[in-house]
Structures are given as structure tokens and as C-alpha cells.
Amino acid sequence: MVMLLVVFGAGASHDSLDVKPPRMNNPDPNWYIDEGHRLPLANELFGSRALFADQMKQFEVLQPILVTLRRAGTEGHVEATLRELMDDTRPVRTRQLMAVRYYLQMAISECQRLWEIDSKNASNYKALLDQIDQFRGNEEVCLATFNYDTLLEQAMPAVGLTITEMQHYVSKSHPYRVFKLHGSINWARTLKVGSGDYSSKHAWTIALRHIEDAAQLDATNTFVRSDQRPCAFLETKDAIVGLVPAIAIPVEQKSYFECPKEHLDELQSLLQHVDKLLLIGWRATEEHFLALLGEHLKGRPIRGQAVAKDKDSAKETTDKFKSGPAAGLNIDWEHFDGGFSEFVATRRVENLLK
């Protein structure tokens, strides 16, 4: 069995639409793209967009670190700054970082909702999947994303996969598998039963209490899908259990996955069959994932494509494979500039699959 692995980073969702109709001089004045709704890159997550500011004000505990995070964004080191915050184990930091998870869930959810209105649900993800499906033959396809948004899941019906349950992501009954390695805006971890009072059933009240009690929360390794905003509790026939967002904080050199163990086990099993590797908008800063690739892709030739806004950025990504945990892999790289939009418009994935 041979297989294609596609890895999506923030640049993919940031450039998920191939047209940019302006507000002014537009033949259709009712259609324009508001750049304030575009899915953000890592250094834009705490920027001064009105949309983000509206979400930040919901979390009072975040206010003391906003200046630091905004400055880090303008200087290009948000992930390094968040790493420093995580290294501070005081209870106040624990509360702030739980608030960051809730903020990211709320901000990305609202950003995506408005982006889908602007884009009229068009997506480069859908175009790419269609092109892959045309040329994959009988090969299976792994799609790994580090993005919190659900643009990829919403594109999957283009190849016949509808995801409504956690098991659908990695079902062996379908040739496409989806791996969300750093969590999702519609994922949550359950808290141990009896960890709080959920009788109010008021999501905001419960979420803010989870933030306040962050240091004492006992999260399980059970992941569930939840469209509740903010996610706070899940009512079952037996009990009401607490929920916290299953979202990995975007830190430099991330060293952990935020996904179900069975998803990760399935990914490692499939990596042993990968012979084609496509990177889209990914900067290859996740050393834990590079280590997986270094372990499971070694010993055989791999054809690779790296897609970024320009060739220097693409080459910077592939250079990460020359040292560190992925060093020694035999990958024949093609570097592509122009971003996700140009890549699908020119159908360059055919070069990899034909």
C-alpha cells in the first residue's frame, strides 16, 4: 500500500480562498472579503482586530497579558512568548492559559463563521481534495492538520466523507483519514464526574468557573465533539460532565498532541506506508511531529512538495528536515510559491500524484 500524506498549517486556512473581491469597485457590491475575517496566522491570534477584541473582553483574566501577547504578535514571536508563560506554574498563569484556550475556541469559531459568509463557502480545501481524488487511484490519503478551524472537515464531503462523530475522522471504511493534531474548535475534553456543579446549565457561568478553578481541574483523555460556545458541559442520560476546549496552546517547538490516542496510533500505523508528502502553509516547527516523520518515513524514497507564499519560505520549511528529529529522510522536494490558492489554481498536485 502506498499513500499520500498532506500536512496543513495555518497558512492553508489563511489562504483558503482563491479570489479576493474588494469592497470598492466591485461589480457585485454585496460581495466583498473583509480581511478582518480571514483565518489568522499564529502571530495574528491576539491582534487588534475588532472581532478578536470582542472575544477577549469576555475573559477578564486575560487582560493582564494582552499587551504582552499583542506586542509579541507584531514582533513575530507569539509562540515563544506563550512558551514562556507556560513555564510559569503559578495559579494565575494556569487560569490565564485556560482562558487562552477558551478565547481561541471563541475567536476562531466566530472568525470562521464570518469567513464562510464572505467566501460563500468556497474553499481551496475542496478544490485540492477534488484534484487529489482524480489522480490518487487506489491509494489512501492521510490529511494531518494543525489548524483549530473546521474548514478541512467541511470540505470532506467533496470526497464522500461526512464527519459527525470522533470515530469518523479515522474510519478504516474510507480511503481518507483526517488527523487534527492540535485539537479543534469543536472538540472538548471531559472532566471527571463530580468535578463541579453543572445544575445551572449556563455555559458562560460554567466556563468562567472552569477558568477560575483551572489549577484544580481534572481533565480526562476522553475527547468529544461539542458545538456549545463556550464549551462547558455535556449532558448524558447518566450524568452531566464538565468540558474544557481540546485546543493546544500555540507555543514554540510544541511538544504534545491534543487528539485522541486512537487517532495518533492510527496515524503512526499509516505513516509506514507514505511515499508522497505534501506540505501546505506549514512551517515545520512541531518537533514532536517531525520526530514521528523521522521515525516512520525513514528507509525509503519520498516525493515531496512544499507550498508557501514564496520559495524562500517553502525552502525554510524543508530545511527543517535536514537537521533535528527528521534528519536523514530521503525526500526529493519540489518548492512551490504563490500559496495555497495558486497551488490549486495551477493543479500542481498532479505533479506529485501522476
Tens digits of residue pLDDT in 253-275:
667 899 999 999 999 999 999 99
Within the chain, where are the H helices? 10-14, 50-56, 63-75, 78-86, 91-119, 124-135, 151-155, 203-212, 261-271, 287-296, 311-319, 339-345, 349-353
What letter represents residue 105's amino acid? Q
pLDDT at 29: 62
SS3 235: strand
Q: Which strand ranges, in their side-by-side order, compose the sheet holding 3-8?
A: 176-180, 140-145, 3-8, 274-280, 301-307, 330-336
Q: Pick from 62, 67, 262, 81: which is nearest to 166 by CA?
A: 262
Domains belonging to the chain, first-starting first, are 3-17+122-183+254-353 (3.40.50.1220), 37-119 (no CATH), 195-247 (no CATH)
pLDDT lower than 50: segments of the chain: none
Copy the grid coordinates of residue 341: 490558492
Cell for 207?
A: 466556563
